[in-house]
Amino acid sequence: MNRGRAIAWAAAGLSLAVLLTSGVGMARRIAAHNRREPPKVWAFQPVGERVFTYAQRPVSLTDGHDERGDWLLLRYGEEERRLRVTIPGNPNLPGLLPHQDWMRVLRFAESSGVSIGELQRRITSGQERDRLVLITRTPMPGSDPETYGAVNKKGWTFGFYELTPDGRIEHQQLGFPSRPRPSLTRAVRGQPAKQPSRPVIQEGTWQYQAAMQVMPTGHGPATQGFRNDALAAAGWTLPAASLSFLALIASLAVAIAPPRRRPGA
């Protein structure tokens, strides 16, 4: 064995040792993080009926029209809200399908330490108390919802109308998920990044997960990075495992490469 191959095998052994050590350490850190902070899980079940019951109170959704256009009337017990239709649909479709591009009615529940499938089963069987929310998506005012309004995600506004067990309709208005805008000038001055001009949906909340249900496929928000999650808890073990794996592959490639023939040999 020539010197080059010996060095490659030694590097492969060292890389393997680092990979195993960092891999075990990463697994332990992630397991410890999940024990301290079990990951939250949300399960959603769409409601397609226009008339149903929630918390022993009648719920209904009926269409209407005035000089400004179409609207949808939400009634819950003694409460009601008139919602402006933001993206017209096909009125010949059954149930709530004419409004599915801009509005959804969702039963949902939140838990931790269980799978989404298990949480879905608990909702269906009544073991988990579910919540009910109607969520709307409104494109930027004045934009065509079929063209620019469909792709200008930063202009979207989401309305959350949660029907509470005591008969109220709680309303919350939030913008498209976004992170603080970085600025070189502000960074040089030691100032924090500029915050969004309006309240926005925060990652890791039920509002974030619910809003995904009314976003067109492929137009969801980009992840805002691994912060305060299991991968962040991995610390130095994650880059160490990644680099040692790459080093192991490179070392093995050199160690087992066929010998080069010298010209004239």
Residue 264 within a domain: no
On whether both 117 and 5 belong to a single domain, the answer is no
On whether both 10 and 81 belong to a single domain, the answer is no
On whether both 166 and 235 belong to a single domain, the answer is no
On whether both 84 and 210 belong to a single domain, the answer is yes
Per-residue pLDDT tens, the chain, 265 aa: give them: 577 778 888 888 888 888 888 888 888 877 776 667 667 888 999 999 999 999 999 999 999 998 888 999 999 999 999 999 999 999 999 999 999 999 999 999 988 878 888 888 888 888 888 999 999 999 876 665 665 555 577 789 999 999 999 999 999 999 988 765 554 454 555 555 555 567 899 888 999 999 999 988 776 666 554 455 666 777 778 888 888 889 889 888 888 877 766 655 5
Query: Are the CB atoms for 45 and 263 separated by under 8 Å?
Result: no
If one counts the domains in the chain, the total is: 2
Length of the chain measured in residues = 265
On whether both 240 and 132 belong to a single domain, the answer is no
| Alpha-carbon gap, residue 82 to 71, rounded angstroms | 7
Give me the pLDDT at residue 183, please: 47
Burial of 262 (0-12, 13-18, 19+ CB in 10 A): exposed
Sign of CA dihedral 116, 135, 166, 48: negative
| Alpha-carbon gap, residue 133 to 138, rounded angstroms | 16
Burial of 42 (0-12, 13-18, 19+ CB in 10 A): middle
On whether both 155 and 236 belong to a single domain, the answer is no
| Alpha-carbon gap, residue 209 to 129, rounded angstroms | 18
Residue 265 within a domain: no
Give me the pLDDT at residue 189, please: 57
- How far is the first Cα of the chain from the last one, in angstroms, to the nearest whole number? 18
Give me the pLDDT at residue 137, please: 94
Residue 263 within a domain: no
Query: Where do the DSSP E strands lie in the chain?
Result: 40-46, 51-54, 57-66, 69-76, 79-84, 103-112, 131-138, 157-163, 169-175
Give me the pLDDT at residue 105, please: 97
Residue 120 within a domain: yes
Boundaries of domain holding 253:
1-38+229-258
On whether both 212 and 94 belong to a single domain, the answer is yes
